[in-house]
Structure 1
Amino acid sequence: MLALAPLAILASASPPITQWLLDLAQDAPSSIAPAPHPCTAIVVLGAGIDQDAHSSRPSLAGHSRLMAAAQRYLACERNGETCAVLVSGGATTPDSATEADVYARELIALGVPAGHIVREQASVNTWQNARNSSRIIQHDSLRVVLVTSGLHLKRSLIYFRHFGVVAEGLPSDRLRAAAGWLPSAYNLLLIEVMVHEYIGVLRYRVYNGMGWNEESIRQDSVTPATTTRALQH
């Protein structure tokens, strides 16, 4: 097994196999325009921030999520829908700005009104994103659109469903393997990210079976009003 492990790693990093694995792991963007809905909450999951002595900026993955969320919000407006954007993400280090604040600033620059942005500033991982956001947005009359990276979407939807929110997935990107036939370090990085996502789903299943996860929530059990007020403004 030890002798075969390097060969398996090299094989998985070859472009055809990496791309096949990516296609299995990523939810493809829908080519069908979403039907109008009276009230829509667009939830954007944080992807980290880059911070220096002068400024805080969204990470590269964060930019793609912001663009997808802003485009979805503007489509809501064009369709005459009532929409709000919930940005979920806390501080990545004790002395840094929260992802929610940094992303909200960028959304405003992209044309989303400040009054239609709700900030969830306590989450530091995907599980907390789902738990904390569900307490804010859970409402029977809302359609929830979950915006995150393609590789991250499947696990995120599972976590949100655990906390009572059945969301529509909107992948902000679709990664592709490096071109060619030889294994590459870039493809190895993609494999690592995919394994991380699969481990997250497997851990969720195991923890559920062992009773270690927080109790799941029925969709109709809680109806907080924070996002509803934002939608009514």
Structure 2
Amino acid sequence: MKFLLDLLFRVIQLFTEPYFLVFLAIVIIALLKRKNKRKNLRIGVGFFAVVMIIFIGNGFLGKLTSGYLQKSYVNTIMNKNKTSQNPVIVVLGGGVVDFDNTEKLHTMSYSRLVTAYQLYHEYKMNNLPCKIVISGKGRGQKSEAELFSENFKKMGVSETDLIKEDKSMNTYENAKYSSKILKQMAPSDVYLVTSGFHMKRSVALFHTFGLDPVPQASDFIDTEITLFPNSYNAAFTFVMLKEVLGIWQVQLYNSLGLNG
């Protein structure tokens, strides 16, 4: 059953791709024309496609989606008193870029790196212990966990405070494998560091594996309402729509007992 649902959500995910929507509209119009269907119907399909492109490209849908995904986490940044005795910071990988045969963290990863370090530094300034669990394998020769670790050490984080979870390939596995490590450590607090648009789904998955992390959003994305559609608004809107779909998938799987 899970395999079929996975396949279904992959198909649905296509509808969050702008090029697929344009391609689908063209195909529908072409088929209607070939079968000599009413001209008004073809015009209607074309008009609907144009309206959707405008609605997505002018930033309106993006504004609504960004609020749904991120608003809950704006005031959670660094607002907890850093006095617990055995905290663990979990930072989720944001991707690896292989450019000219050199692997570097994706741009998105650096805000997560900085936010996790700021949390860690606060504890160390108060002479309190703190560990960082770095979660992510990625698809490069070096894992996300390894690249994060190299950067953390350059920033002054002790190697003994770094724990690499380098098996996970997606957010579900981030939560699954990190939870096994965390349950062995029995921390007083768990801080979860990832991007704001990615936080709601991440927290839901960590809840699935019995953890209640304190969300610490490292960055936020938003769109700007514009008179004319633009690619910036469209790109971020589709990124966020995928996250919304992912949240619905987590909720459905949890209700059916398919996660865990």
What TM-score comes out, normalization by structure 1 length? 0.83
Matches within 5 A, 1:63-78: 63-78=110-125
Which range moved further: 183-192 or 156-165?
A: 183-192
Q: Do residues 97 (structure 1) and 97 (structure 2) align?
A: no
Contact 2:206 2:212 in 1 (8 A): yes
Q: Provide the rounded CA distance (Å) in 2 between the counterparts of 1:22 and 1:91.
A: 25
Matches within 5 A, 1:123-142: 123-138=168-183, 140-142=186-188
Q: Corresponding residue for 1:45?
A: 92
- The number of residue pairs the alignment matches comes to 212
Distance 1:130 1:31, change over 3 A: closer
Q: Do residues 86 (structure 1) and 133 (structure 2) align?
A: yes
Q: Corresponding residue for 1:223?
A: none
- Describe the SS at the equivalent of 1:111: coil
Larger Rg: 2
Which range moved further: 44-53 or 123-132?
A: 44-53
Contact 1:15 1:181 in 2 (8 A): no
Q: Corresponding residue for 1:228?
A: none
Q: Corresponding residue for 2:162?
A: 117
- Describe the SS at the equivalent of 1:152: helix
Q: Do residues 9 (structure 1) and 56 (structure 2) align?
A: no
Q: Provide the rounded CA distance (Å) in 2 between the counterparts of 1:87 and 1:204.
A: 22
TM-superposition CA deviations, 1:6-41 (whole Å, max 9, x none): 313321331354234312221314366321211110
Amino acid at match of 2:158: P
Q: Corresponding residue for 1:205?
A: 251
Aligned-pair identity (%): 27
Distance 1:32 1:85, change over 3 A: closer
Task: Quote the offset at 1:64 in angstroms.
Answer: 0.9
Which range moved further: 97-106 or 14-23?
A: 14-23
Cα root mean square deviation, aligned: 2.0
- Describe the SS at the equivalent of 1:175: coil
Q: Provide the rounded CA distance (Å) in 1 between the counterparts of 2:212 and 2:257.
A: 22
- Describe the SS at the equivalent of 1:195: helix
TM-superposition CA deviations, 1:54-76 (whole Å, max 9, x none): 53211000111101111111011
What TM-score comes out, normalization by structure 2 length? 0.75
- Describe the SS at the equivalent of 2:74: coil
Q: Provide the rounded CA distance (Å) in 2 between the counterparts of 1:163 and 1:126.
A: 12
Amino acid at match of 1:115: T
Q: Do residues 192 (structure 1) and 235 (structure 2) align?
A: no
- Describe the SS at the equivalent of 1:146: strand
Task: Quote the offset at 1:84 in angstroms.
Answer: 0.6
Distance 1:115 1:140, change over 3 A: closer
Distance 1:53 1:5, change over 3 A: closer
Q: Corresponding residue for 2:17?
A: none
Contact 1:100 1:120 in 2 (8 A): yes
Greater helix content: 2
Name stretches of at least 5 consecutive residues in structure 1 with no aligned partner: 215-233
